Chains A and B, each alone.
Chain A
Amino acid sequence: MTLTDAQQLGYINAQAADGRVNVELETDDGMVLNMGPQHPATHGTLRLVARLDGEQVTSADVMCGYMHRGYEKLCEVRSYPQVTTLVNRIDWLGSFANEVPFILAAEQLMEVEAPPRAQWIRTLLFELSRIANVSLFIGDLALQLGAQTPAFYAFRDREFVLNQIESVTGGRFHPNFDRIGGLKDDLPKGWIAETKAAMVRLRAFCDEMEGLVYGNEIFQSRTRGVGVIPAAIAQSYGLSGANLRGSGVDWDLRRDANVGLVYDQLDWKVWTHPDGDSYSRCWVRLQEVREATKIVDQICDGLPSGAIMAKVPRIIKVPAGEAYIATENPLGQMGYYVVSKGDTGPFRVKIRSASFNNISIAPWLLRGVYVPDIITILASLYFILGDIDR
């Protein structure tokens, strides 16, 4: 393609007006950089096709679907209790949190409420999934920036949390523990003390990471002011979790739209950051791990006694109706729109996963950035492929 003089001039002016340093002109289509689907710097099988002009990205396109498993279709042939096994595999680093909104939606349609102890333990496991998920993010973030050590620290300390999840549910990654009307089992003996000890470890991990990664000059210079998302754009793309709060939007479903969990009875804080850049998103996540350890401590201290299962029929049939329940999962808002026709299984389930919306901003966000920043921006958006492709 050849450009006219007027077009070339317009292009240079547009670049200069954009405040971008690079005004080198490529009159052909530029270079195409293909990352993935197996590129080591992507999380899983995401493929990114970036069109470059010199060192700058002129357009970027995200190709997903390498892990599409068709859960929405599969849910239509499963019974309600069977669906939790499927949805466990959506965000595999914080699996328990995937089960909760679906179970809550089914409970709402059945007009069943879990007993208080079950609600407390659900909240406890929900926050443990958050810690397991996001602590690994912090290690992985450093890995993307070229630091190896924090990743090993993260794997080491996440193990304490996974052990606790395993000793309750029997599964390190896929607990499948939540039931309509309550939980499968109660906590094992001695678990509370072990968990509190693990939380002490995790708080030390956060302090360590804050000094090692967040305080690092290289980390700061590569993330501060990079990949800025204004609040209005973040809302219009439906970003959620730390990506939204990192843009200064003070919205957390745990505080503002709490359904069926006990966050309203606990003392905790929603962290936001006004900058909207890569650093602020990562910073908010770090604070959320700290806050989650405090929530877990409070639940361990205040756990009520009683039953863990409400009375539900042996064969679960959910009355006809529609319900949408979203919760604040480790990656952001996760919701299930459940349509029931009074059958043993759902008629239609729409899974609203956080990463799908979070990564859909990438083509907008990557336009104009430099090639090394692609990695830091994608790392700071933090997606999990199972959560995009479902």
Chain B
Amino acid sequence: MAEDTATASAEAPEIVVDERREELRAVFVAHLGDAVLDSVIKPGDGLWIRVATDAWAEAGRVAQDKADCKYFDFLSAIDWLPSPYGRYEDSALDVPFPPPMPERSAAVPGYAGGESRLQVLASVAKTGTDLRVLLKVDVPDDDPRLATWIRTYAGAAWHERETHEMFGISFDGNADMRNLYLPSEFEGYPLRKEFPLLARVVKPWPGIIDVEPMPGDDEPSEGEGTEE
């Protein structure tokens, strides 16, 4: 279980073992068992753990009580679907609006894998050290809903509110789901990829300006002069 290594370390010539982070991962595996679906360690840098959706609240308790990560850092989400608008580098005349949504299969998760389009990401840390755990969890596509962390980490309350208004993920047990930033009548979830960046819709981007090679730049640099 959970023996993947990061792509970064797989390419490195010697296998570096990060014992402190291995120990930290072992704590989660010991207390959550099969609920630890996948994990990645970048030696000397970070630990990513993906837990099962129904073990999310338990993962928070394990992080706080067993792994001694008492410090709540942040909680947010990632939408893995590519944006249908690209990066608004094409002229608005070239693409129809709204463009067709990408296929669901185009959503490719990052470290520690995943099956859902939306993933919640939280970071907790051990004070006095550089150890931190980045916990990921899949959120069901059809009903984005997750258990709350406010019983474990009080600071999660605002972060869950922000995640709710930006991604439309509900947190069971957190009664206060009012919008933090947006007007209460706002419709849509701005950080989901299908939500257009309205500023660029109103006034389109003029397009990428070709970058010419500098005189004396003899070696062709990566992706020179062209944009995909």
A and B physically associate: yes
A339 at the interface (CB under 8 A from B): yes
A249 at the interface (CB under 8 A from B): yes
- Encoded as 1 (CB less than 8 Å from any A CB) or 0, chain B from 146 to 174 comes to 00000001110110000000100000000
Partner pick for B155 among A76, A337, A344, A357, CB 8 A cutoff? A357
Partner pick for A335 among B7, B73, B180, B181, CB 8 A cutoff? B73
Q: How many residues of A contact B (CB 8 A)?
A: 50
Asked if A236 and B72 sit within 8 Å, CB to CB, the answer is yes
Of A19-27, A67-75, A136-144, which binds chain B? A67-75
A306 at the interface (CB under 8 A from B): no
Q: How far is the CA of A322 from the CA of B70 in the complex (A)?
A: 23
Asked if B190 and A70 sit within 8 Å, CB to CB, the answer is yes
Chain A binding surface, main DSSP class: mixed
B94 at the interface (CB under 8 A from A): no
Partner pick for B211 among A314, A320, A326, CB 8 A cutoff? A314
A237 at the interface (CB under 8 A from B): yes
Asked if B134 and A324 sit within 8 Å, CB to CB, the answer is yes
A171 at the interface (CB under 8 A from B): no
What is the distance, in angstroms, from B45's C-beta to the closest C-beta of chain A?
7
A235 at the interface (CB under 8 A from B): yes
A300 at the interface (CB under 8 A from B): no
A257: chain B residues within 8 A (beta carbon)? 129-130
Partner pick for A64 among B70, B71, B88, B180, CB 8 A cutoff? B180
What is the distance, in angstroms, from B93's C-beta to the closest C-beta of chain A?
18
Q: How far is the CA of A27 from the CA of B38 in the complex (A)?
A: 54
Asked if A321 and B158 sit within 8 Å, CB to CB, the answer is no
Of B26-34, B95-103, B215-223, which binds chain A? B215-223
Of A115-123, A149-157, A348-356, A376-384, which binds chain B? A348-356
B74: chain A residues within 8 A (beta carbon)? 238, 335, 337, 350, 352, 357
B116 at the interface (CB under 8 A from A): no
Asked if A321 and B7 sit within 8 Å, CB to CB, the answer is yes
Report the nearest A residue to B8, measured CB to CB: A321
What is the distance, in angstroms, from B151's C-beta to the closest C-beta of chain A?
11
Q: How far is the CA of A326 from the CA of B127 in the complex (A)?
A: 13
Contact flag A324-B78 (CB < 8 Å), given A232-B70, A315-B221: no
Contact flag A233-B154 (CB < 8 Å), given A65-B181, A257-B129: yes
Partner pick for A343 among B87, B110, B153, B179, CB 8 A cutoff? B87
Report the nearest B residue to A67, measured CB to CB: B181
B58 at the interface (CB under 8 A from A): no
B123 at the interface (CB under 8 A from A): yes
A339: chain B residues within 8 A (beta carbon)? 78, 110
In this complex, the member of A64, A339, A350 whose beta carbon has the largest number of chain B beta carbons within 10 angstroms is: A350
Asked if B197 and A73 sit within 8 Å, CB to CB, the answer is yes
Asked if A77 and B222 sit within 8 Å, CB to CB, the answer is no
Contact flag A315-B70 (CB < 8 Å), given A73-B197, A324-B46, A337-B76: no
Asked if A108 and B182 sit within 8 Å, CB to CB, the answer is no
Report the nearest B residue to A79, measured CB to CB: B87
Q: How far is the CA of A225 from the CA of B8 in the complex (A)?
A: 50
Chain A 312-348 residues near chain B, CB threshold 8 A: 313-315, 317, 320-324, 326, 333, 335, 337, 339, 341, 343-345, 348
A356: chain B residues within 8 A (beta carbon)? 158
Q: How far is the CA of A68 from the CA of B182 in the complex (A)?
A: 8
Asked if B46 and A360 sit within 8 Å, CB to CB, the answer is no
B128 at the interface (CB under 8 A from A): yes
Report the nearest A residue to B6, measured CB to CB: A321
Asked if A77 and B200 sit within 8 Å, CB to CB, the answer is yes
What is the distance, in angstroms, from B77's C-beta to the closest C-beta of chain A?
9
In this complex, the member of A74, A235, A323, A361 whose beta carbon has the largest number of chain B beta carbons within 10 angstroms is: A235
Q: How far is the CA of A364 from the CA of B205 in the complex (A)?
A: 44
B129: chain A residues within 8 A (beta carbon)? 256-257
Asked if B121 and A236 sit within 8 Å, CB to CB, the answer is no
Chain A 271-302 residues near chain B, CB threshold 8 A: none
Report the nearest A residue to B48, measured CB to CB: A322
What is the distance, in angstroms, from A5's C-beta to the closest C-beta of chain B?
29
Q: How far is the CA of A249 from the CA of B71 in the complex (A)?
A: 11
Q: How far is the CA of A297 from the CA of B83 in the complex (A)?
A: 48
Enumerate chain B interface residues (CB-CB to A < 8 A). 7-8, 45-46, 48, 70-74, 76, 78-79, 82-83, 87-88, 110-111, 121, 123, 127-130, 132, 134, 153-155, 157-158, 166, 179-182, 190-191, 195, 197, 200, 205, 211, 213-214, 217, 221-224, 227
Question: Given A324-B123, A348-B78, list of 5 further CB < 8 A pairs?
Answer: A232-B70, A313-B223, A345-B87, A350-B121, A360-B158
Enumerate chain A interface residues (CB-CB to B < 8 A). 64-65, 68, 70, 72-74, 76-77, 108, 232-233, 235-238, 244, 249-251, 253, 256-257, 313-315, 317, 320-324, 326, 333, 335, 337, 339, 341, 343-345, 348, 350, 352, 356-357, 360-361, 364, 389
Q: Which 8 A/B pairs are nearest by Cβ-Cβ distance? A: A257-B130, A65-B181, A237-B155, A68-B181, A360-B158, A251-B127, A238-B72, A238-B155
